[in-house]
């Protein structure tokens, strides 16, 4: 072998290493460096690209905008509660998603958390890099793609994950720049947690698991007392439950048809409350088609996660969703994922199981999910599939 050949092989390896290093710095970094073509690392196989119409689809509606069911949170507190609960149940059964309006979180708090997320990603890479960690259990973790250690093809997204429970333990790790980051992120995290608890209360009632409001209990009714205790136990568990906040940044992409901001996935957890800015991008799978969720400023996109599908024994659906990118605009979203404490076991609610509706899912622990993440490509709806019982 000639010395020249050895050189060229080495330099090719150097090129490769430096490319990999660049990719690990994320897509904001690529975009800031004026990238004009999507690198091979981000190009999806033709069948997985965003504008492919699949055989099963009922028509070319990939770009159709979907008006998700709208749930009026204020309506849940008034005389129309039972109608709103019916709409909530039907949204969770038929879409797995809804938009929550009139939720009571002040517009300023929402604007501030989206604004400070934007400013976080606008900081120089050297500032953001401080929060990178190879440990997926780290309470604060900056990264890129979906799962940068296992993704064969990278996606066009950078993120910052913050574990928010218990808040006092996490605070010292929370980014201190921008200098108002901590205050704004924490006040948002508290508000959204409270909203989640109110929603859980409504969801349990919509599943027929809570005593109806305003019904005076008879003192001698032991069963009802026991039910009430059980409900309070569940709610208490959620109060101490897990909360993970994910700030997502999707920079403009020179060839948005070749890649995705986030691959199809369902959310681990009970419910996700998502804030998206005015830039479209989120798509959900609905009746075999990918449809775009139209942003409603100031509202939340709420979706059923794997744990709620399991808990409801399959009645409420944890639906696949993905994110498209575009060549013009940055898109920012803030997702808050909530569930039971990490050490709890999630199982179909015993009251929802009967002879005619047998148990459909195995008991599931957070550790089983982590094992799954380590062992397999997590971009498919495999985790929930892997928890299904086959009769
Ligand atoms: C997520 C998610 C959608 C979005 O963070 O799990 O699906 O629009 N985000 O960023
Ligand atoms: Ni998601």
The confidence score (pLDDT) of residue 366 equals 79
For the stretch 315-355, pLDDT in tens is 999 999 999 999 999 999 999 999 999 889 999 999 999 99
The confidence score (pLDDT) of residue 233 equals 85
Pocket test for ligand 1, best of 144, 264, 272, 326 (most atoms within 8 A of CB): 272
The confidence score (pLDDT) of residue 365 equals 87
> Which protein residue has the closest C-alpha to ligand 1 atom 5?
335
DSSP run (H or E) holding 335 = strand 331-339
Q: Which atom of ligand 1 is nearest to the CA of 159?
A: 5
> Which protein residue has the closest C-alpha to ligand 1 atom 1?
335
> What is the value of pTM for the model shown?
0.90
The half-sphere exposure of 62 on its side-chain side, counting CA atoms within 13 A, is 13
Shortest-distance ligand to the CA of residue 250: 1
Q: Which atom of ligand 1 is nearest to the CA of 281?
A: 8
> Which protein residue has the closest C-alpha to ligand 1 atom 2?
335
Give me ligand 1 centre to Cα 201, in Å.
24
* Helix pair angle (222-239, 181-206), 10° resolution: 160
Q: Which atom of ligand 1 is nearest to the CA of 333?
A: 10
The confidence score (pLDDT) of residue 389 equals 87
- Which residues sit opposite 301 in a β-bridge? 99, 274
Whether 248 is in the pocket of ligand 1, judged by its Cβ within 6 Å, is yes
Instruction: Taking residues 218-229, report their average pLDDT.
Output: 65
Whether 282 is in the pocket of ligand 1, judged by its Cβ within 6 Å, is yes
The confidence score (pLDDT) of residue 7 equals 42
The half-sphere exposure of 231 on its side-chain side, counting CA atoms within 13 A, is 20
The confidence score (pLDDT) of residue 212 equals 58
The confidence score (pLDDT) of residue 76 equals 95
**Two tokens at 203?**
């969801």
For the stretch 274-312, pLDDT in tens is 999 999 999 999 998 999 999 999 999 999 999 999 999
For the stretch 73-115, pLDDT in tens is 999 999 999 999 999 999 999 999 999 999 999 999 999 999 9
Instruction: Taking residues 150-176, report their average pLDDT.
Output: 88
Shortest-distance ligand to the CA of residue 335: 1
Q: Which atom of ligand 1 is nearest to the CA of 272?
A: 6
> Which protein residue has the closest C-alpha to ligand 1 atom 10?
333
Give me ligand 2 centre to Cα 68, in Å.
16
Cβ contacts of residue 29 below 8 Å, gap of 6+? 22, 125
The confidence score (pLDDT) of residue 79 equals 96
The confidence score (pLDDT) of residue 83 equals 97
Instruction: Taking residues 48-62, report their average pLDDT.
Output: 61
The whole-angstrom separation of Cα 70 and Cα 101 is 7
Pocket test for ligand 1, best of 262, 267, 280 (most atoms within 8 A of CB): 262
């Amino acid at each position: 072998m000639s010395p020249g050949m050895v050189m060229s092989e080495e330099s090719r390896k150097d090129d490769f290493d430096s490319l990999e290093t660049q990719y690990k710095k994320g897509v904001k970094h690529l975009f800031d460096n004026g990238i004009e073509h999507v690198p091979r690392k981000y190009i999806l196989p033709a069948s997985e690209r965003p504008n492919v119409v699949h055989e099963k689809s009922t028509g070319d509606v990939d770009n159709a905008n979907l008006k998700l069911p709208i749930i009026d949170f204020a309506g849940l507190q008034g005389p129309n509660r039972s109608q709103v609960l019916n709409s909530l149940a039907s949204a969770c059964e038929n879409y797995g998603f809804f938009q929550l309006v009139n939720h009571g979180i002040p517009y300023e708090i929402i604007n501030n958390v989206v604004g400070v997320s934007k400013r976080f990603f606008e900081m120089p890479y050297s500032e953001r890099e401080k929060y990178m960690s190879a440990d997926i259990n780290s309470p604060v973790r900056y990264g890129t793609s979906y799962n940068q250690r296992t993704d064969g093809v990278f996606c066009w997204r950078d993120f910052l994950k913050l574990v928010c429970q218990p808040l006092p333990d996490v605070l010292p790790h929370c980014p201190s720049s921008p200098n108002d980051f901590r205050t704004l992120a924490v006040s948002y995290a508290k508000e959204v947690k409270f909203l989640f608890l109110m929603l859980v209360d409504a969801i349990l009632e919509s599943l027929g698991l809570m005593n109806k409001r305003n019904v005076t209990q008879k003192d001698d009714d032991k069963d009802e007392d026991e039910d009430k205790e059980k409900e309070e136990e569940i709610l208490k568990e959620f109060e101490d439950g897990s909360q993970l906040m994910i700030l997502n940044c999707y920079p403009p992409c020179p060839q948005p048809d070749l890649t995705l901001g986030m691959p199809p996935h369902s959310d681990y957890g009970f419910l996700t409350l998502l804030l998206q800015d005015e830039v479209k991008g989120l798509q959900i799978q609905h009746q075999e088609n990918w449809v775009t969720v139209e942003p409603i400023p100031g509202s939340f996109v709420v979706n059923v996660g794997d744990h709620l599908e399991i808990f409801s024994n399959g009645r409420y659906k944890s639906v696949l969703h993905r994110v498209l990118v575009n060549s013009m605009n940055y898109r920012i979203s803030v997702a808050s994922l909530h569930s039971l404490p990490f050490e709890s076991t999630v199982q179909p609610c015993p009251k929802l199981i009967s002879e005619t509706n047998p148990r459909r899912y195995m008991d599931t622990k957070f550790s089983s999910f982590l094992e799954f993440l380590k062992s397999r490509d997590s971009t498919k709806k495999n985790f929930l599939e892997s928890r299904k019982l086959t009769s």
